[in-house]
């Protein structure tokens, strides 16, 4: 076996684990990634020459690539994502569980000699800003160069992570193999006790890039519980009011493929000249209590893994320039005329097009780009990033929002009256599923805090942990719920969404500043219609009233569903959350509508 590029100072623990994994998987070569530019070029050339990736037009898209996954490997596979512990109750009713020993044996068997004939890449990575006490180190051993080049964009990868490891000592271990892509033997296993991840027979993002959901959310959520902080599926957005020079940081949880990246990159429309919006993170936030009782947040990632399909001048004008260089596209379509990437929403249909599987595409067929097609692009080249994204102390959170896709009932926005009630609002999130999960029908499901697929432990304990965390926070952020996805009788979206969502963010800011009143309803505060700024927008006030209407019967039915879900947790469900639920339920049932 050849070992390449091995750094001089590697901890004994790391060295012997790499050796052990090599013994099991038997790669021909082990290559230690340093994260350099030169190395990146080498890996990308290898992928291009071996026809695993397509190099795009160098003039129009310098250093950009298109990767096509197997057709059976296009999204996270939640039913094959396992939490592997001694007892099932640790994983809780919302996770798929397998007994630790059983899972470990199964994975050992599957990994046996799986890398023969291949190179194993050692990918050290850092989650969080350099030098931050909140940051964590991980090392992924993978036989996919595609995974390695993605991780170089999404994390701080290579030497920088090894240096940090010398200081921190602890690291999360991750082993991944493309295997043979057999979907029946595809598993993403989490061993929290060992802080070990094992994933096989997949290369798709969230299944294979183990720094992302598997480490930064599932394992991190478990570490967070022990250490007294939160790992959340939340973007982190900075809004500056230039008029009074005030900064606001809003973290927000929305399920995958529900416009989280678009919202994190929102550009205030012309009516809001006094405001700028900048991105700290688009997918994951780690939240801590600060010295003065404030809530602080960091983005553990270093790049964006956003949905390409639908991204365009209307939905997300800010990102487009960033996607023109140093970006890896996965499962988008290709314009063969000039070798450029294309997806629905980007521009008019080109004359000729290959779909995401590489076949010639004709109008009227299914979509050209996969609905869960992705771009992987560095934050650092994103013009509208916040200056604070690398701040080792994070930013102070002013507000949090929860939400999801709901075609009816859920108002455009409402505000929890207290932080505790806000925990309930997050916990009772129910949302329509999207293309980010394999195989799921588009149905409403319980998705508390948009974490249903990402909480690494029993969610009953997780809800309890939210309350414990809240006790440390004296300067409590306001909590909101949003829903951009209400539909009318004809099935059309009522609210235009995207950039216009800034109107709702502005209302939140006014609420944070205490400059507008709101109307109390059983679920919380709803805006007075006239407080939503509709300047420069052609939107019928009657439609807005509809979006801000409280439907007593609808909510009574919603809470029955919420209760059914909460009941699943039995003893593990916190009493405080039942109290919040009971209070809200009573208010809804007692509510007498005004005329
Ligand atoms: O596939 S990822 O988990 O990385 C993206 C998502 O589904 O949110
Ligand atoms: Mn996500």
Distance CA 167, CA 150 (A): 25
Confirm whether 198 is domain-assigned: yes
Q: Are residues 88 and 143 in the same domain?
A: yes
- Residue where a domain stops, chosen among 208, 227, 246: 227
Place of tokens 């309930």: 424
Separation of CA 416 and ligand 2 centre (Å): 24
Confirm whether 508 is domain-assigned: yes
Confirm whether 22 is domain-assigned: yes
Distance CA 308, CA 301 (A): 18
Nearest to 141 by CA among 284, 306, 26: 26
CATH of the domain at 311: 2.170.8.10
Q: Are residues 294 and 327 in the same domain?
A: no
CATH of the domain at 105: 3.40.449.10
What is the best residue among 151, 256, 404 to mutate for testing ligand 1's pocket, by most ligand atoms within 8 Å of CB?
A: 256
* Residue 371 clears pLDDT 80, i.e. is over it: yes
Q: Are residues 209 and 330 in the same domain?
A: no
Distance CA 128, CA 302 (A): 8
DSSP 231-295: EESEEEEEEEETTTTEEEEEEEE--TTSSHHHHHT----GGGTTEEEEEEESS-EEEEE-TTSBE
Chain centre to alpha carbon of residue 81? 16
Q: Is the pTM for the entire model greater than 0.85? A: yes
Question: Nearest residue CA, atom 5 of ligand 1?
Answer: 206
pLDDT in tens, 412-425: 999 999 999 999 99
pLDDT, the chain, mean = 96
Q: What is the pLDDT of residue 440?
A: 63
Distance CA 523, CA 520 (A): 8
Q: Are residues 94 and 189 in the same domain?
A: yes
Three-state DSSP state, 166: helix
Question: Nearest residue CA, atom 1 of ligand 1?
Answer: 206
CATH of the domain at 405: 3.90.228.20
20: enclosing H helix or E strand: helix 12-25
* Helices within 345-450 (DSSP H only): 419-427
Which atom of ligand 1 lies closest to the CA of 209? 4
Three-state DSSP state, 337: coil
Q: What is the pLDDT of residue 438?
A: 76
* Residue 376 clears pLDDT 80, i.e. is over it: yes
Question: Nearest residue CA, atom 8 of ligand 1?
Answer: 256
Q: Count up the domains in the chain and report the number.
A: 3
DSSP state of 350: P
DSSP 359-380: SB--TTSS-SS-TT-EEEEEGG
Nearest to 355 by CA among 345, 425, 344, 346: 344
Distance CA 75, CA 205 (A): 7
Confirm whether 485 is domain-assigned: yes
Q: Are residues 216 and 111 in the same domain?
A: yes
Nearest to 176 by CA among 91, 115, 267: 115
Distance CA 195, CA 172 (A): 5
* Residue 439 clears pLDDT 90, i.e. is over it: no
Mean pLDDT for 530-559 is: 97
Question: Nearest residue CA, atom 3 of ligand 1?
Answer: 206
Confirm whether 145 is domain-assigned: yes
Q: Which ligand is nearest to the CA of 331?
A: 1
CB 371 within 8 A of CB 309: yes
Q: What is the pLDDT of residue 238?
A: 98
DSSP state of 17: H
Q: Are residues 493 and 583 in the same domain?
A: yes
pLDDT in tens, 486-506: 999 999 999 999 999 999 999
DSSP state of 477: P
Separation of CA 157 and ligand 1 centre (Å): 19
pLDDT in tens, 166-219: 998 899 999 999 999 999 999 999 999 999 999 999 999 999 999 999 999 999
Q: How many CB atoms lie within 10 A of CB 276?
A: 16
Which atom of ligand 1 lies closest to the CA of 260? 8
CA atoms within 13 A on the CB side of 218: 34
CB 288 within 8 A of CB 295: yes
CB 479 within 8 A of CB 402: yes
Three-state DSSP state, 155: coil
Q: What is the pLDDT of residue 1?
A: 80
Strand partners, 354: 334, 360
pLDDT tier for residue 595 given thresholds of 50, 70 and 90: low
Q: What is the pLDDT of residue 434?
A: 80
User: Given the DSSP bridges, would you call strands 478-482 and 413-415 parallel, antiparallel or unpaired?
Assistant: antiparallel
Q: What is the pLDDT of residue 215?
A: 98
* Residue 441 clears pLDDT 70, i.e. is over it: no
Distance CA 585, CA 583 (A): 6
- Residue where a domain stops, chosen among 227, 242, 259: 227
Order across the sheet with 303-307: list the strands: 53-55, 65-67, 328-330, 374-378, 303-307
Q: Are residues 534 and 496 in the same domain?
A: yes
Q: Are residues 6 and 88 in the same domain?
A: yes
96: burial class by Cβ within 10 Å (0-12, 13-18, 19+)?
Answer: middle
Separation of CA 372 and ligand 2 centre (Å): 12
Q: What is the pLDDT of residue 270?
A: 86
Distance CA 496, CA 422 (A): 26
Mean pLDDT for 281-293 is: 97
* Residue 433 clears pLDDT 90, i.e. is over it: no
Separation of CA 97 and ligand 1 centre (Å): 20
CB 196 within 8 A of CB 173: yes
Residues with CB under 6 A from ligand 1: 76, 205-206, 212-213, 256, 305, 436
pLDDT tier for residue 269 given thresholds of 50, 70 and 90: confident
Mean pLDDT for 68-93 is: 97
Distance CA 176, CA 306 (A): 22
Long-range contacts of 41-46 (CB under 8 A, 24+ apart): 43/145, 43/148, 43/149, 44/149, 46/145
What is the best residue among 259, 303, 436, 451 to mutate for testing ligand 1's pocket, by most ligand atoms within 8 Å of CB?
A: 436
More confident residue, 177 or 443: 177
pLDDT in tens, 73-84: 999 999 999 999
Q: Report the residue count for the chain.
A: 595
Residue 521 CB contacts under 8 Å (≥ 6 apart), including other chains: 414, 550, 591
CB 205 within 8 A of CB 305: yes
Separation of CA 586 and ligand 1 centre (Å): 37
φ, ψ for residue 447, nearest 5 deg: -145, 70
Separation of CA 437 and ligand 1 centre (Å): 8
Confirm whether 70 is domain-assigned: no
Q: How many CB atoms lie within 10 A of CB 292?
A: 9
Q: Which ligand is nearest to the CA of 209?
A: 1
φ, ψ for residue 444, nearest 5 deg: -75, 130
**Helices and strands of the chain, counted as H and E runs:** 16, 31
What is the best residue among 75, 190, 283 to mutate for testing ligand 1's pocket, by most ligand atoms within 8 Å of CB?
A: 283
Confirm whether 545 is domain-assigned: yes
Q: Which domain holds residue 576?
A: 232-299+389-590
Question: Nearest residue CA, atom 4 of ligand 1?
Answer: 206
Q: Are residues 493 and 377 in the same domain?
A: no
Q: What is the pLDDT of residue 93?
A: 98
pLDDT in tens, 337-346: 999 999 999 9
- Residue where a domain stops, chosen among 321, 356, 381: 381
Confirm whether 308 is domain-assigned: yes
Q: Are residues 288 and 149 in the same domain?
A: no
* Helices within 30-72 (DSSP H only): 37-49
Nearest to 35 by CA among 106, 140, 113, 132: 140
Q: Are residues 135 and 21 in the same domain?
A: yes
* Residue 524 clears pLDDT 70, i.e. is over it: yes
* Residue 301 clears pLDDT 70, i.e. is over it: yes
Q: Are residues 290 and 438 in the same domain?
A: yes
φ, ψ for residue 24, nearest 5 deg: -75, -45
Separation of CA 155 and ligand 1 centre (Å): 15
* Residue 148 clears pLDDT 80, i.e. is over it: yes
Terminal-to-terminal C-alpha distance of the chain:
80
Q: Which ligand is nearest to the CA of 252?
A: 2
Here the tokens at position 51 are: 């026809």
CB 377 within 8 A of CB 267: no
Q: What is the pLDDT of residue 363?
A: 87
Q: How many CB atoms lie within 10 A of CB 316?
A: 24
């Amino acid at each position: 076996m050849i070992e390449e590029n091995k750094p001089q100072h590697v901890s004994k623990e790391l060295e012997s684990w790499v050796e052990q994994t090599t013994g099991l998987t038997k790669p021909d070569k082990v290559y230690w990634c340093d994260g350099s530019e030169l190395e990146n070029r080498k890996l990308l050339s290898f992928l291009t020459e071996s026809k695993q990736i397509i190099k795009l037009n160098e003039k129009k898209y310098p250093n950009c690539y298109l990767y096509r996954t197997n057709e059976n490997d296009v999204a996270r596979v939640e039913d094959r994502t396992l939490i592997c512990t001694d007892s099932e109750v640790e994983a809780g009713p919302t996770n798929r569980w397998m007994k630790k020993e059983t899972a470990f044996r199964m994975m050992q068997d599957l990994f046996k000699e799986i890398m023969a004939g291949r190179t194993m890449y050692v990918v050290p990575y850092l989650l969080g800003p350099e030098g931050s006490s909140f940051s964590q180190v991980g090392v992924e051993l993978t036989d996919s160069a595609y995974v390695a080049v993605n991780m170089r964009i999404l994390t701080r990868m290579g030497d920088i992570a090894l240096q940090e490891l010398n200081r921190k000592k602890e690291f999360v271990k991750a082993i991944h193999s493309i295997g043979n892509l057999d979907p029946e033997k595809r598993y993403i296993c989490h061993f929290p006790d060992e802080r070990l991840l094992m994933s096989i027979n997949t290369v798709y993002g969230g299944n294979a890039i183990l720094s992302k959901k598997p480490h930064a959310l599932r394992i991190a959520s478990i570490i967070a519980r022990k250490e007294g902080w939160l790992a959340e599926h939340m973007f982190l957005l900075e809004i500056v009011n230039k008029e009074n020079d005030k900064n606001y940081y809003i973290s927000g949880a929305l399920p995958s493929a529900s416009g989280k990246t678009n919202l994190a990159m929102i550009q205030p429309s012309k009516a809001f000249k006094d405001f700028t919006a900048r991105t700290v993170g688009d997918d994951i936030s780690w939240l801590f209590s600060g010295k003065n009782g404030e809530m602080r947040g960091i983005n553990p990632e270093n790049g964006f893994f956003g949905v390409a399909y639908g991204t365009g001048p209307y939905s997300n004008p800010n990102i487009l320039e960033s996607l023109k260089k140093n970006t890896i596209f996965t499962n988008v379509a290709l314009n063969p005329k000039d070798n450029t990437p294309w997806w629905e929403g980007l521009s008019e249909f080109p004359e000729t097009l290959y779909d995401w599987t590489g076949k010639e595409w004709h109008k009227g067929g299914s979509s050209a780009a996969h609905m869960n097609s992705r771009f992987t692009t560095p934050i650092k080249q994103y013009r509208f990033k916040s200056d604070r994204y690398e701040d080792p102390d994070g930013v102070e959170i002013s507000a949090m929002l929860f939400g999801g896709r709901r075609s009816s009932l859920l108002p455009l926005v409402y505000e929890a009256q207290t932080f505790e009630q806000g925990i309930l609002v997050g916990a009772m999130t129910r949302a329509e599923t999207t293309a980010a999960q394999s195989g799921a029908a588009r149905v409403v499901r319980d998705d508390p805090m948009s974490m249903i697929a990402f909480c690494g432990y029993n969610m009953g304990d997780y809800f309890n942990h939210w309350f414990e965390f809240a006790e440390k926070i004296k300067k409590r952020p306001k909590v909101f719920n949003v829903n951009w996805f209400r539909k009318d009788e004809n099935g059309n979206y009522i609210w235009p969404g995207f950039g216009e969502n800034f109107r709702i963010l502005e209302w939140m800011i006014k609420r944070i500043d205490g400059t507008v009143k709101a109307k109390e309803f059983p679920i919380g505060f709803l805006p007075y219609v006239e407080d939503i700024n509709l300047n420069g927008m052609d939107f019928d006030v009657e439609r807005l009233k509809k979006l801000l209407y409280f439907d007593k019967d609808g909510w009574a039915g919603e809470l029955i569903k919420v209760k059914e879900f909460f009941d699943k947790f039995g003893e593990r469900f916190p009493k405080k959350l039942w109290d919040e639920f009971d209070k809200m339920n009573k208010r809804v049932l007692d509510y007498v509508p005004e005329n």
